Amino acid sequence: MPDVHNVKALKKHQYGYRLRVGNYRVLFDWDGGIRIVQIQEVRKRDERTY
C-alpha cells in the first residue's frame, strides 16, 4: 500500500486504492515496485461513489 495519509486499499472494487481529498475521492491503481500511480477516476463524494 502507498505510504500516504488518507489512502485506503479497496476490497472487491475495480480500482485498488482510494485517496480522500476533502469531498473528493481519487480512485487509482498502484504499481508498488516502480511507484507509478495511474489515476483512473476522480469523483465528488456522495452515496454513489463506491
Contact call for residues 49 and 41 (beta carbons, < 8 A): no
pLDDT digits 0-9 by tens, 3-17: 667 888 888 888 888
Distance between CA 48 and CA 3 in Å, rounded?
27
Tens digit of pLDDT for each residue in 1-50?
556 678 888 888 888 888 888 888 888 887 777 677 777 778 787 766 65
Residues paired with 39 in a beta bridge: 28
Domain extents for the chain? 7-44
| DSSP 8-state code for residue 6 | T
* pLDDT of amino acid 48: 67
pTM for the model stands at 0.60
